[in-house]
Structure 1
Amino acid sequence: MNTPTNLLTQWLNEEAQILQALNAGAGPGVARPEQIAGKTGLEQMQAMLRGEIPHAAIAHTLDFLVIGIGDGEATFQGTPGPQHFNPMGSVHGGWFATLLDSALGCAVHTKMPAGRGYTTAELSVNIVKALTPKVQRVRAIGKVIHCGRQLATAEAKLIGPDGTLYAHATTTCLVFELKHAPASGATT
């Protein structure tokens, strides 16, 4: 039976495996153009999870990380802590928004063909339950609804291991052609 305690244990084990790969890999930063050249967004995200290209430094700052990537899907896991509190003692809405925006954006990123990128144009977050220190981990699960040549939309839910819904969000992203400088040694 998958109890909340068992599910939390599973989440923590998955987190430890991902952290091991990320810590052994390229570390935080921004991928160089030659590291992502010719790769689809899904291939880029998979390479990041394997530690082959840098991962986002903000994940360390806000204590969350990408846990899973699929075609049109991205799952992030976070640890809400005292450093994320608002003055009332619950987790600040900006932490919710950043975690959800990451899952939404990365889900859209997995749908990008090589040479295409995206940026968030609109983000709507609905916080339906406060997060307190009693909740050890939450997951933001993002799924693409539509991905076209110019616009993409996605939705995400922020849940606890017991299935409690803490927030949900939607996004509209602008899709565009990337204009990177050629990799060193390449000619135009």
Structure 2
Amino acid sequence: MTNVDERAHEAERAEQYRALVEYGLTAGIGVGHSLGITLEAIGAGRAVWTMQPSTRAADAHYSVAGGVLATLMEAAMASAVHAALPPRTTYTAAGLSIALVGKLRVDDPEVCCEAHVVHCGSRTATADARVMTADGRLVAHGGASFLVFPVPQG
């Protein structure tokens, strides 16, 4: 593929992913709906998601649970990988590692998670992500690996 073809393909895959997320929000299904996670930007091996902390995400200390932040990060990294994959391929998460480095209260302002593809090969892909507060404080960072495989024909 040429660079022009690759960019067009990335844009098409990004739009497909955005449509899936929007459908889930409209239908009231998925983590976007249940946790208030919103896709802000996707394309060229990068994705940005936001989340408004709320009591839906609370742990026993009225902080946002680490698993909720992991979900936000995995969604961001998976969508970045989705947009970067070549035609007729798909993926599944193989591993996730995060470091929680700051407390996020349920009444804090919206946070942003930005993910970037580090590697996108024919069998595996990796990505990293950071969750930041509006004032630039790092809350969590981590990475994920994905198995890449052809879409079954039929």
Letter paired with 1:80: P
Contact 2:54 2:107 survives alignment (8 Å): no
Q: Name stretches of at least 5 consecutive residues in structure 1 with no aligned partner.
A: 1-38, 182-188
Cα separation, 2, equivalents of 1:43 and 1:160:
30
Between structures 1 and 2, the one with greater strand share: 2
User: Given the alignment, which residue of 13, 17, 21 partners 1:44?
Assistant: 13
- What is the aligned-residue identity percentage? 31
1:136: Cα distance to partner?
Answer: 1.4
Q: How many pairs does the alignment contain?
A: 143
Is 1:104–1:171's contact at 8 Å kept on the other side of the alignment?
yes
Mark the runs of 5 or more structure 2 residues left unpaired by the alignment.
Answer: 1-7
The two structures have a TM-score, normalised by structure 1, of 0.70
RMSD in angstroms over aligned alpha carbons? 2.2
Q: Is the 8 A contact 1:48 1:54 kept in 2?
A: no
- Name the amino acid aligned to 2:125: A
Matched, 1:91 2:64: yes
The alignment's TM-score, normalised by the length of structure 2, stands at 0.84
Corresponding residue for 2:46?
A: 73
Q: Which amino acid aligns with 2:131?
A: L
8 Å Cα contact 2:24/2:33 also seen in 1: no
Residues 47 and 53 in structure 1, CA contact (< 8 A), matched pair in contact too: no
Q: CA deviation at 1:44?
A: 2.8
Q: Distance in 1 between matches of 2:61 and 2:21?
A: 41
